[in-house]
Amino acid sequence: MKRWGVIVLTVGLIFTGGLSICLIGKRSLQVSQTKREDVSSLTREAEEALNKGDFIEARKIFKRILEEVTDIKKIEEVRKKLEEINMKILFSSIIDECSKEYVVKPNDTLIKIAKRFNTTVELIKRANGLTSDIIKPAQRLKVNVCKFSLVIDKSQNLLFLKRNNEVIKTYIVATGKGNSTPTGKFKIVNKIKNPTWFKTGAVIPPDSPQNILGSRWLGLDIKGYGIHGTKEPDNLGKQITLGCIRMTNQDVEELYDILPLGTEVIIVE
């Protein structure tokens, strides 16, 4: 009898469990469908916000969408849209949680303001549509107040621009062949426009076809290593450099304008 009791109980559990699985399956399907409907609705809201020029609201909605979607293709699509919005906000007069309005005082200069807020003259100019360094008292300027940092992933050949510890843009880069790019925590210690390449036994001027550094140099506090442009953009995404981090000229020029000296750079395997 005890054996039969165990068998009956086991059979009952199997059927009950099966029923539970069916119910859970239906519930999961309903939740999944609800999420898909929510994502479609949220996407329409985000696009409407973009059409109205409300980039802050659009960014908020796309972040919510990113939390809901599971399809890799959709995730990548939303991520790219978010990064586009992030850069539009950064390079415009829109005030967000990482910026403030600053009223220019007598004797102020862009250099003084940039130093005060640990930002760059170039970023202030781009955010405010300035074409010269001339500013006037009582003029209102948007200035960035959050800290930037970089993370470089050698295994993926990707560089992540972070602001206030949140990734705001992803760049494809090239790193050192033979895994020669050093790992660790570094800082940007110098910035050079149209750099000269001091190659072993030679000095290669900026306009030379043999100069591999491109249009900008962001030097790290480890001798001989930095982030720079390239004249061979087709070779990005590979481990192909002499150890430095290589980007398109357009991308490195963007980082040059954004990042102040002292910016932290973390390089991982």
> Are 191 and 265 within 8 A, CB to CB?
no
**Residue 46 phi, psi dihedral angles, 5° rounding:** -65, -45
Tell me which DSSP letter residue 208 carries: S
**What count of other Cβ atoms lies within 10 Å of the Cβ of residue 194?**
14
Residue 78 CA to residue 47 CA, distance in Å, equals 12
Burial class (CB in 10 A: 0-12, 13-18, 19+), 180: middle
Q: Is residue 244 flagged as an active site residue? A: yes
Pick the catalytic residue from 22, 98, 146, 244: 244
State yes or no: is 228 an active-site residue.
yes
Q: How far apart are CA 94 and CA 59, in angstroms?
A: 13
Residue 251: name the closest of 219, 212, 223, 214 by CA: 214
**Which of 239, 238, 226 minimizes the C-alpha distance to 265?**
226
Whether 46 contacts 128, CB under 8 Å: no
Q: Which of 22, 98, 146, 228 is catalytic?
A: 228
Catalytic residues: 228, 244
